[in-house]
Amino acid sequence: MSLDTTPILTATDEARRQLEICNACRYCEGYCAVFPATFAERAFSDGDITQLANLCHNCRGCYYACQYTEPHEFALNLPAALAEVRVESWDRFAWPGGLGRLFQTRGVALAGALILGIAALFWAMAALTPERGTGFYAHLSHTIMVAIFGPAFLLPILVIAMGLRGYWRETGGTRVTLSQLASALRDGASLRNLSGGAAHGCNYEKGDRYTLARKHAHQAVFWGFLLCFASTSAGTVLHYGFDLPAPYGAFSLPKLLGVPGGVLLTLGALGLAGLKLRADRSLGAASAWGGEMAFVLLLAATGASGLALFAATGTALVAPLLALHLGTVLTFFLTMPYSKMVHGAYRLAALVRDAQRKGA
């Protein structure tokens, strides 16, 4: 019996093998921030690979430009290699370990969490029905809502902050300046690296043809999410600062921010889901496709259930839709450190770290 002596490569080893080939080739220099950062190194530590992986925006431009993809024996597929390292790194930095891999790779785990989240809200509304109250507060008191959503928001943020600390240590980050932060925020908000050096977009869903669809859909999700967050914050300020509790009128700040935010979030997420169905799975983290799709659909469900609740104002549907929407939001919050949602935090950290490398 002959023993197979082929070494087993980890995702980091495989990415290192490919980046060493890129470092000799240098063809893709102008494509994105990954290549100048790669060419600045002679050898790649594990931390360097983690940083380069989180800097890559998976635009896929370098794959279509590369002369060393299969059937060449080098078998380059840098977008996929870096995507696998990202999945692995987000799991490693999240506490407790293993949950990141579970929610990133198993869409069914996120679906199960959603069922539990919605069930928990139906239970809370049935068991803790307030004696009096108007609007939403006739079904669940403000005190109970704060008791559920305060910790459900703050604890995941703490877990993400701990993960970022691990990231910063591993990638050799130093003290952050305002100009580095500003440069990273600019690049993050404009998704500058999602275009492989081409102003006309990325190669995500149409092979070697360029398209701006993914960038536009992401911008809708990104700004929609921020508007929804701003709407909730405005409601909190009105409640505590001005003694103006919900429900708010159609022309109040929470509604003026929340309704367009919900529309953008829902349409953007559905757009991203459609693009994901058309894109080539082998150029991303194939292991994480199901978890990513479940996350995109969870975002769409969050926006759509919020809009449905708004449309149902004053009808008998408010109670079940409130449980549905709050259960979806609860699931989104609690799984944030373990789902694809963490990409925002790590990608921003990678952009700040890159600004440090460039001496911004």
Binding site for ligand HEM (CB under 6 A): 57-58, 188, 191, 194, 218, 221-222, 225, 269, 272, 276, 292, 296, 299, 340, 343-344, 347-348
CB of 144 to ligand HEM, least distance (A): 26
Subset of residues 1 to 30 that bind ligand SF4, contact rule: CB under 6 A? 21-22, 25-28
CB of 64 to ligand SF4, least distance (A): 9
Decide which of ligand HEM, ligand SF4, none touches 91; Cβ closer than 5 to 8 Å per partner kind: none
CA torsion angle 294 296 302 307 (round to 10): -130
In DSSP terms, 202 is beta-bridged to 211
CA distance 302 to 336: 13
CB of 175 to ligand SF4, least distance (A): 27
First-last CA distance in the chain:
58
CB of 19 to ligand SF4, least distance (A): 8
- The DSSP code sequence of 197-208 is T-TT-B-SSSTT
When asked if residue 222 is in the footprint of ligand SF4 (CB under 6 A), the reply is: no
Q: Copy the structure tokens of residue 15.
A: 């990415």
Q: Copy the structure tokens of residue 9.
A: 């490569």
The residue type at 333: F
Decide which of ligand HEM, ligand SF4, none touches 276; Cβ closer than 5 to 8 Å per partner kind: ligand HEM
Decide which of ligand HEM, ligand SF4, none touches 292; Cβ closer than 5 to 8 Å per partner kind: ligand HEM
CB of 319 to ligand HEM, least distance (A): 27
SS3 211: strand
The whole-angstrom distance between residue 214's C-alpha and the CA centroid of its chain comes to: 14
Subset of residues 28 to 67 that bind ligand SF4, contact rule: CB under 6 A? 28, 31-32, 34, 56-62, 65-67
Decide which of ligand HEM, ligand SF4, none touches 324; Cβ closer than 5 to 8 Å per partner kind: none
Decide which of ligand HEM, ligand SF4, none touches 25; Cβ closer than 5 to 8 Å per partner kind: ligand SF4
The span of 71-79, 140-148, 163-171, 297-305 binding ligand SF4 (CB under 6 A) equals 71-79
Q: How many helices (H) and strands (E) does the chain have?
A: 14, 0
Decide which of ligand HEM, ligand SF4, none touches 68; Cβ closer than 5 to 8 Å per partner kind: ligand SF4
Query: String of b and e for 276-299 (b: at least 16 CB within 10 Å)?
Result: beebeeebbbebbebbbbbbbbbb
Size of the chain, expressed as the number of residues it contains: 360
CB of 25 to ligand SF4, least distance (A): 3
Indicate the burial class of 83 (C-beta count within 10 angstroms; 0-12, 13-18, 19 or more).
buried
Chain residues binding ligand SF4 by CB under 6 A are 21-22, 25-28, 31-32, 34, 56-62, 65-68, 76, 78-79, 193, 196
